[in-house]
Amino acid sequence: MKEGKKINLLTAQNTAIVLFFIGFYGLCARRNIIKTIISLGIMGGGVILYFISINHQPNSMPPIMGEVGIVYADPLPQALVITAIVVGISVTAVALVMFISMYHTYGTTNWQKVKKMLNERKNK
Amino acid sequence: MILYFFIFVPILLGTLLYLIPRKEVKIIAFILQIFLLGLSIYNFIDISNNGDVIQVLGSNLAITGITLVCDQFSAALIILSAFIFLICYIFGLLDKFVNNLFIFLFIILQSLIMSIFLTRDLFNIYVLVEVSTIIVSVLIMFKKDSVSLYDGMVYLISNITAMTLFLFGVAILYKNFGVLDIDTIKLKMQYIEHSRSLILPFSLMITGIGLKCAFLPLFSWLPKAHATPSAPSIVSVILSGLYVKVGIYLFIRITDMYSPAINLNTVFLIVGILTSLVGIVFAFSQSDLKLILAYHTVSQLGLILMGISMGTITSYYGGVLHIFNHAMFKSVLFLCAGIIIDHYGTRDVYKIKGVFKNLPFVSIAMIMAILGITGAPFFNGSVSKYLIQGGAKNLIINSTIIIINLGTIISFIKVAKILKGSSGICILHVRWYKRVAVLLIGSMCLIMGLAGPLLVKGLFNYTIDMTFAIYIEKMIVYIVSLAIGYLLYNKVIHKLKFVREGISFDLGVNEISISMLAFFIFLVVTTYITLI
């Protein structure tokens, strides 16, 4: 009886929410440009985990139709997640490429220093 | 079938043109633009006569498939985007920087914007906005100088973060409803028992879209992106005239989707008022021509937000009409600013003088746009501002709109001063097609103003009676506010310290993320309070 009352907090969805906000914290608090890009990746990872855990049932089969009487996994989140992963990869790639060319011009990985250099140039 | 053409023809042709680099590419791209404009007008007429077009991809049922839906609003926005892209092609097609890569990015961006206006699938919206964000950031840093690299990077990171928030909201919504189609979710929304389970997805999605629409704490990326020094002026036109409207369009659709369960009109009305006031204060204090225009985009977006969340049908129509009007006059202003900056070699409004003498055609277009944006009678801004004002039942809101208009007038007196006087700078000749483009879209400000009641009838099937007395009344109000604005600018505002020196509101990526978090928490709290 006691076991039934226990609420399992360590579910995939809660992990996903925590991951998402860890990524958000990184965006708010880290000044390193690469860490910003990594934080974006972590946020995306949280969303992806949330998506695939939405209608998860234990012992479900891959959604390839054929046999009757088996629990199939929800196919739509999986299809969406593949797209989200592809989009995430390309965004990370573009951001990193932009970072490289930024690094070549400014020579720093710090947002604050880049801003300072820009302001100095403006004042000149 | 016709809806597919707006998406597939530009993408396929754009890719093909990029793979076959020949000189004729520019001509084919130009023909494509004319074709798309014609098709969009045909589509609009078809929809006004026969009703909405719904096309389902991937399935027979709208619930399980991916739907493309085109109603009159979407069709009108597609005409708008085709028209503005055509003007941009006429304006910039023969410029040196327009190479195959630029044309490729431009065409793809156009088809993405059109498909955002057509799709009703939340995940589709995410993918399309994400891809267009990447393209826009590449376009911002197209000339690859140091300032635009930073601006493009800030744009990319902040907008991608916003869309990740949006996607998380979509995921939670999918958990609740099991579908991704906006119309179906709206239908299901009224049967939901625990409307508190919608607080999180609502706040996440509106925060994401709020950054795209540049609401109050989230607008600091916009001036950077829209007015970055080296970006070509046609990119600024697309961003400021068209691309921010994508955010407003999504805002309208998403709040409409949530409307059976959550209604936060009053909150958004206040956000709109604050956004437009803050936008004007920042616009006062800039000396950079493009930055003034970019901050005005913020304030006009606030005005549009006020219109659509006022709660009355008249002001809603006014807000929607202002989307189109703002696209027209802001495009003219950015194109003219581009020409002026190219010729004078400076962006400082205090240093530019004698534009009317040197560039008469450009100046005429610019004057028409300024009359439009300040709401002069017979010009387009007046019609939509009249509608927004007409729906305001409250005296406070009514006077706020007049104050906002006064602020717009004051800061455009600052801009209009560059037309006066004479300067000894030897001026190059403006190419004829640039003059044609600027005058064409400039005269649209006047045409849309004169045909305002007709336009409202065609778009929304709503009649406004613009009698002669109303014109006279508006004329008097406009002249009085013009006089007050002129006096205020010369006697008071001109001498204020912060206007002289300029204040900058330059948030980095960290600060933008923190303001996003703050806006998110604000939304969660207000939604929670309203649902109790």
Contact criterion met (CB below 8 Å) for B63 and B184: yes
Where are the domains positioned within chain A? 9-56+72-123
- Residue B514 pLDDT > 90, yes or no? yes
**Structure confidence at residue B342 (pLDDT):** 84
d(CA B115, CA B93): 24
Tens-digit pLDDT profile for residues A25-82? 999 999 999 999 999 999 999 999 998 888 777 777 777 767 777 777 778 888 889 9
- Chain B contact set for A40 (CB, 8 A): 157, 160-161, 164
pLDDT band per the 50, 70, 90 thresholds, residue B65? confident
pLDDT over threshold 60, residue A4: no
**Chain A residues close to B288, C-beta within 8 Å:** none
Is residue B130 less than 8 Å (CB to CB) from chain A?
yes
Residues in chain A: 124
Going from N- to C-terminal start, the domains of chain B cover: 1-119, 121-263+506-532, 311-501
Ranges A50-54, B151-155, B328-332, B501-505: which has the least confidence: B501-505
pLDDT of B168 reads 94
Helix or strand or coil: residue B396? helix
CB contact under 8 A, B508 and A83: no
Question: What confidence category does residue B128 fall into, taking pLDDT thresholds of 50, 70 and 90?
Answer: very high
| pLDDT for the residue numbered B423 | 67
Name the residue with higher pLDDT: A121 or B79.
B79
CATH of domain A9-56+72-123: 1.10.287.3510
Give the pLDDT confidence of B130-146 residue by residue, as tens digits.
Answer: 999 999 999 998 888 88
The predicted model gives B457-462 an average pLDDT of 80
- Tell me the per-residue pLDDT of B281-311, one tens digit each, with 9 for 90 and over: 888 888 888 888 999 999 999 999 999 998 8
**Chain-centre distance of CA A69, in angstroms?**
35
Give the mean pLDDT of B465-482.
Answer: 82
CB contact under 8 A, A98 and B149: yes
| pLDDT, tens digit, 9 for 90 and up, residues B255-288 | 999 998 888 889 999 999 999 999 988 888 888 8
How high is the mean pLDDT of chain A? 86
Is A111 within 8 Å of B508 when comparing Cβ atoms?
Answer: yes
Which pLDDT band holds residue B162 (cuts at 50, 70, 90)? very high
Q: What is the mean pLDDT of chain B?
A: 87
Q: Which long-range contacts does B488-494 make (Cβ < 8 Å, 24+ apart)?
A: B488/B406, B488/B410, B489/B410, B489/B413, B489/B414, B493/B284, B493/B410
Answer yes or no: are the C-beta atoms of A50 and A65 closer than 8 Å.
no
Flag whether pLDDT at B501 surpasses 80. no
Of the candidates B368, B358, B287, the one whose C-alpha atom is nearest the C-alpha of residue B330 is B368
Interchain proximity A112–B141, CB inside 8 Å: no
The more confidently predicted of residues B271 and B147 is B271
Q: For an interface test with B, which of A90, A94, A97, A100 has the most B Cβ atoms less than 10 Å from its Cβ?
A: A94
Instruction: Please tell me the distance in Å from A43's CA to the nearest CA on chain B.
Output: 7
For B154, name the nearest residue in chain A, comparing CA atoms only: A111
What is the reported pLDDT for B202? Answer: 94
More confident call, B337 vs B194: B337
Quickly tell me which residue has 């046999």 as its tokens.
Answer: A67
* B393 reaches A (C-beta below 8 A): no
Q: What is the pLDDT of residue B424?
A: 62
Predicted complex ipTM: 0.92
Does residue B137 sit at the A interface (CB-CB below 8 Å)? yes
* Each residue's pLDDT tens digit, B22-37: 778 888 889 999 999 9
Confidence of residue A1 (pLDDT cuts 50, 70, 90): very low
Q: Report the pLDDT averaged over residues A84-100.
A: 93
Residues 6+ apart with CB under 8 A from B157: A27, A36, A37, A40, A95, B509
Which chain A residues are within 8 Å of B147, Cβ to Cβ? 118, 121
Q: What is the mean pLDDT of residues B158-167?
A: 94
Q: How many CB atoms neighbour CB B354 within 10 A?
A: 18
pLDDT at B21 over 80: no
Distance from CA of B165 to the nearest CA of A (A): 9
- Residue B377, pLDDT > 90, answer no
Collect all residues with Cβ–Cβ distance below 8 Å to B175 and sequence separation of at least 6.
Answer: A54, A55
B451 touches A: beta carbon within 8 Å: no
Q: Is the pLDDT score of A99 beyond 50?
A: yes
Q: What is the mean pLDDT of residues B513-524?
A: 94
What mean pLDDT comes out for the span B341-359?
83
Residue B376 has pLDDT above 50, yes or no: yes
